[in-house]
Structure 1
Amino acid sequence: MNDRLTALKLFVRAGRLGSFSSAGRELGLSQPSASRLIAALEADVGATLFSRTTRAVALTEAGATYLTRVEAILAALDEADHEARGTGELRGVLRVGTSSCFVLREIIPRLPKFLSAHPALRVELLSNDRYQDLVTESIDVAFRFGSLPDSSAIARKVIDGPRILAATPFYLEEHGTPMMPSDLAHHAVIVGPAHRSPTLSFRKDGRVASVRVESQLSVTINEGAIAGAKAGLGIAALSLNSVRAELESGALVRILSDWDFGSMEVNAVFVSGKTIKPAARAFTDFLVGELRR
């Protein structure tokens, strides 16, 4: 029975990844062992689940149908095991996808508290500053920033924090402190993931002020924008939650704080149509509580 369960888990990952060897590595199996398990599963099922070439494997029509059913069964089994224990204890592996900045600044510092309550759980953090594919990368929950595009994914808002502008005290001493949004036209503004457009818009007392800015530096990761600001390369557009430590230490100074620069949502995203893994639900609840405190 254990071999059959392993084979089913292997089948799901191989179907999503298009590779027996990659799926086998995730489960600690060699490529020959993975191939044998899949062949045995096909024999038990009585159907060819994969078409094979020298370069890749792909699900057959029967395999694609079978995968949909098996994923639901494995998720339901995980849920049943969790409920049967009746202790709230979480086991197995939780795969979390998000940006490197969020992992380093928000998740890892809070992990000891969560893992101490669930010693049998293993967490895998997949940090990447692009949107991960929840299905092919087998991610149980992903934390994403900004308004979500139309998607079949299930989303839950975790926190909604303000966007801000910040620079080093040295930069402001050398170049002056902007007092109005229009002053930013005379400054280098680092464009990062918190705000990618060269046009910045602000609101105050019903007024809207927009200004086009230029910079020698644009970055695709929040840590890059923070590092650029700390290096004195300009004023960075950031999310307040991501830069609290620098503001509290005085390494960076917030500017134009009396103007509303918009907000940055953080959402927990789950694959639609799949039962949410108990560990993913519990970790999201935990993080929501911690971040909203």
Structure 2
Amino acid sequence: MNNKLNAISTFLHVAEAGSFSEAARQIGLKQSAVSQQIAALEEELGVVLLNRTTRKMALTEQGQRYQRDMQPLLEAMREAESNLSPGDHQWQGKVHVQLPSGLGQLFLPHLLNLQKANAGLHLKISLDDRIADLITEGVDIAIRLGSQPPDEHASRVLARVKIQLFSAPMFSPVYSPADLPALPHIRFSGIMHDAPLRLISENETVDVKVNTVFQTSTSEGLLQALQAGIGIGGMQLPLVTKAVQAGTLIPVLPDWKLPDRFLYVVFPDARFIPHKVRNVAGVIEQLLPQIAGLL
């Protein structure tokens, strides 16, 4: 039984590391021993978990399913064993957190302080606007911004995020949404170039055709383009607080806003969420009141 558990643990290391050599280095075994454990596990299960060549390896469909099913079970067993020992284990072990690039910059200093205060904790922080595959990339917590919750994973709403139009101070004044089509517009590259801009006031909602002249895949790129005076664009309020205070950005049509988006915390598997993961997610949630404009 113990040999099988070791083989399962080795398989999960290989799946996460993406190579036999890196997994062997991480767990302190020879590469040949790692290969033997995986081969024995595959023989016992009667399936191929990994396709390997001389240059690379990849999970088979059965391997992906086995990784997805076994990861939470092995985590649960380790946590149950750690709870038998005296001492505080709430800040022990590796936690991989993915955050949107813009909002992630606001959370990062606080997460660095959490790391400094807890030597047993090993944070891996990814600041990334793309939607990661939580299972294959080993993400424990994803903080995502969207108009609706993800379908494939357990999630809950953390906050509502307001979005308004901004421009550099020297930019042409705008008095109504009808002025926007004649002016250059900036937006995220994930939005279709010719998609209409939806604006909402207290009494009405309008869709405006805008002249998109610049697109970028990150919040930082969008912020710099706005400050450079390239055009008008929508920004999440928490990300422009400093720029507005410094006078490098000003609100455009302050009585109008873009549709609100929601900040979600997402976990790869709701069946088992380790204490260390819940604790880091709790810290992120507690930080929300300190992030200007989120609530």
Q: Is this a same-fold pair by TM over 0.5?
A: yes
Q: How many residues are aligned here?
A: 284
RMSD, matched Cα: 3.2
Cα deviations across residues 22-62 of structure 1 (Å, max 9, x unaligned)? 5446x3658xx24413413654896266455424354585x
Give secondary structure in 2 for the equivalent of 1:254.
strand
Instruction: Between 109-118 and 133-142, report the one with greater CA deviation.
Output: 109-118
CA–CA separation in structure 2 for the residues paired with 1:215 and 1:44: 55
Amino acid at match of 2:157: K
State whether residues 198 and 212 of structure 1, in contact with CA within 8 Å, keep that contact through their aligned partners in structure 2: yes
Cα deviations across residues 240-279 of structure 1 (Å, max 9, x unaligned)? 1222221222221112121232212111111135511322
Q: By how many angstroms is 1:149 displaced?
A: 6.1
* Sequence identity (%): 24
Q: 1:261 to 1:28 in 2, by over 3 A?
A: same
Structure 2 partner of 1:198? 195
TM-score between both structures, scaled by the size of structure 2 = 0.81
Structure 2 partner of 1:152? 152
Q: 1:5 to 1:227 in 2, by over 3 A?
A: farther
CA–CA separation in structure 2 for the residues paired with 1:226 and 1:6: 49
Q: 1:28 to 1:102 in 2, by over 3 A?
A: farther
Residue 239 (str. 1) matches residue 239 (str. 2): no
Q: 1:100 to 1:225 in 2, by over 3 A?
A: same
CA–CA separation in structure 2 for the residues paired with 1:289 and 1:266: 14
CA–CA separation in structure 2 for the residues paired with 1:208 and 1:135: 39
Q: By how many angstroms is 1:137 displaced?
A: 0.6
CA–CA separation in structure 2 for the residues paired with 1:28 and 1:129: 31
Structure 2 partner of 1:257? 254
Give secondary structure in 1 for the equivalent of 2:215.
coil
Structure 2 partner of 1:93? 94
Q: By how many angstroms is 1:12 displaced?
A: 1.3
Summarize the alignment of residues 35-184 of structure 1 with structure 2, pairs less than 5 Å apart. Answer: 35-40=32-37, 42-43=39-40, 47=44, 50=49, 52-54=51-53, 55-59=56-60, 67=67, 70-80=70-80, 83-84=83-84, 85=86, 87=88, 89-103=90-104, 105-148=105-148, 151-171=151-171, 175=172, 177-184=173-180
Q: By how many angstroms is 1:83 displaced?
A: 4.2
Q: 1:283 to 1:68 in 2, by over 3 A?
A: closer
State whether residues 156 and 267 of structure 1, in contact with CA within 8 Å, keep that contact through their aligned partners in structure 2: yes
* Unpaired segments ≥5 residues, structure 2: 291-295
Structure 2 partner of 1:20? 20
CA–CA separation in structure 2 for the residues paired with 1:244 and 1:250: 10
Q: 1:228 to 1:42 in 2, by over 3 A?
A: same
Q: By how many angstroms is 1:183 displaced?
A: 1.4
CA–CA separation in structure 2 for the residues paired with 1:126 and 1:67: 21
